[in-house]
Amino acid sequence: MAAFGTVFMPEMALARFDGQGWSNPEIVSSDSLTLHPGAHVLHYSSTCFEGLKAFRHADGSVNIFRIDRNIARLAQSSELLALPSVDTAMLQQMIIDVVRRFASDVPEPPGSMYIRPTHIGTEAAIGKAAAPTVESLLYVLLSPVGDYFAGGDKTLRLLLEENGARCAAHMGMVKSGGNYASALQPIMKARASVQADQVLFCPGGDVQETGAANFLLIDGNEIITKALDTSFLHGVTRDSILTLARDMGMTVSERELTVSELLERSARSGAEAALSGTAAVLAPVGTLIHNGQEHQVGDGKVGPKTLQLRQALNDIQWGRAADTHGWLTRV
């Protein structure tokens, strides 16, 4: 199986903003884009994106998960980056149209069609270091993906980083390229030095998130995660898992979590920790590495609550449980 995100459908949906309004969306080849080398995005990082999925159900229908949330987040990211304002109704139609066009290529569960809306500043203006682009391009790429856990469900090792931050504090809730570039060196160093899979950024002891996923601690019947603020990315999976946890009668605590409380609680028997995001839904965490010491989370193995919550979300996505929250849009 090819690596996640390396296979693309041959066409994508695309619309241009010319300073006045949006062009009619078109379906065009996804092989390449023509961009002026002075395009705003290439110099001043006026770029944001989304990641959501479409699922094939047993009845043959294709269903997109929480499309409204991802569109709203792209509109918010665009606004915070001073990109042209996204026409959300147009974007919804672009996503539905391109998914419908490639409906027969949507893999069966546990696979899915990963959808990548992207918005970039295209004005050729290298003098605009401190001014917004007036032109932009919005496109929707599709990438069929397989089973995230095909290699087995092994637990992750996270390095707790208390000194560095993932990105600038006011950029945390923006799904923008520069934030990933900014987290890359810490992640590469953590891989090389302590064989960590990811870095859990905890600036000043405040447990935030990893480079591309939210962090959840499960202690008995309670699930604890940082309350929403502008410092980190508001995951749609995080919100969905918390909703399902409440449905199951778990106590959901959205609040500050310090590194010391995390280490104390995660050492308890039965404690679990997981990363949440669209790609994996929930990926179990087995080890926290802090100040050169390794701390096992619970028994260090994949926990039952993590599996139960992931299954509950997968069941809705795959059409095996009732969509009681109205999360699916049939294309």
Ligand X SMILES: *Cc1c(COP(=O)(O)O)cnc(C)c1O
Binding site for ligand X (CB under 6 A): 51, 175, 209, 212-214, 233, 235-238, 276-278
| Nearest residue (CB) to ligand X, 175 versus 290 | 175
- Say which residue the tokens 């109704």 belong to: 89
Length of the chain: 331
d(Cα 82, Cα 78) in Å, to the nearest integer? Answer: 6
DSSP class of 169? G
d(Cα 223, Cα 248) in Å, to the nearest integer? Answer: 12
| Nearest residue (CB) to ligand X, 172 versus 303 | 172
| Nearest residue (CB) to ligand X, 125 versus 257 | 257
Q: In this structure, what token pair is assigned to residue 319?
A: 């059409």
| Nearest residue (CB) to ligand X, 238 versus 305 | 238
d(Cα 107, Cα 62) in Å, to the nearest integer? Answer: 10
Q: Where are the alpha helices (DSSP H) in 45-124?
A: 67-80, 88-101
| Minimum separation from the CB atom of position 240 to ligand X (A) | 8
| Minimum separation from the CB atom of position 98 to ligand X (A) | 19
| Minimum separation from the CB atom of position 241 to ligand X (A) | 9
| Minimum separation from the CB atom of position 330 to ligand X (A) | 20
| Nearest residue (CB) to ligand X, 39 versus 167 | 167
Q: Is 97 exposed, middle or buried (0-12, 13-18, 19+ CB in 10 A)?
A: middle
| Nearest residue (CB) to ligand X, 25 versus 235 | 235
| Minimum separation from the CB atom of position 58 to ligand X (A) | 25
- Say which residue the tokens 């998960």 belong to: 65
Q: In this structure, what token pair is assigned to residue 189?
A: 């160093």
Contact (Cβ atoms closer than 8 angstroms) between residue 304 and residue 153: no
Evaluate the CA torsion angle 270, 273, 278, 280 in order and state its sign: negative
| Minimum separation from the CB atom of position 118 to ligand X (A) | 13
Contact (Cβ atoms closer than 8 angstroms) between residue 186 and residue 208: no
| Nearest residue (CB) to ligand X, 125 versus 218 | 218
| Minimum separation from the CB atom of position 51 to ligand X (A) | 5
d(Cα 155, Cα 197) in Å, to the nearest integer? Answer: 10
| Minimum separation from the CB atom of position 28 to ligand X (A) | 26
| Nearest residue (CB) to ligand X, 122 versus 276 | 276
**Chain centre distance of CA 18:** 29
d(Cα 174, Cα 83) in Å, to the nearest integer? Answer: 12
